[in-house]
Amino acid sequence: MITEDMVRAALGNVIDPEIGLDIVNLGLIYRVDVLDEGRVVDIDMTLTTPACPAGPQIINQARSEVMALADVYKGLEDVKITLVWTPFWNPSLMSEDAREELGFY
């Protein structure tokens, strides 16, 4: 069955094209739930800003990367992504590696 760690690993392939880092290390993924015995993955995520021009691209790529898990885990039927703005994203949500790479100390 699909796990949260597998979903987060798949989401690690989604790169914010403006920043050049993946959305997991940027801290854009707030919640991942695997529901209905692995048939549904429900994700709450945000963007670095509500006006992010790459937002639709990032969300579509996130959905595609997680749905690709269905190639191995045949029971996966749906990926639901909810865009949330609370808490509002800030650099403190990034991983330590991401903060170092972008010069936030």
**DSSP calls for 8-21:** HHHHTT-B-TTT-S
Q: What is the pTM assigned to this prediction?
A: 0.93
Q: Has residue 102 been placed in a domain?
A: no
pLDDT number for residue 74:
93
Specify the CATH number for the domain of residue 49.
3.30.300.130
pLDDT number for residue 104:
80
Q: Has residue 103 been placed in a domain?
A: no
Structural domain tally of the chain?
A: 1
Q: Has residue 29 been placed in a domain?
A: yes
Encode the chain (105 residues) as per-residue pLDDT tens digits. 899 999 999 999 999 999 999 999 999 999 999 999 999 999 999 999 999 999 999 999 999 999 999 999 999 999 999 999 999 999 999 999 999 998 886
Q: Which domain holds residue 55?
A: 4-96
Residue with tokens 């269905």: 70
Within a 10 A sphere around the Cβ of 99, how many other Cβ atoms?
Answer: 17
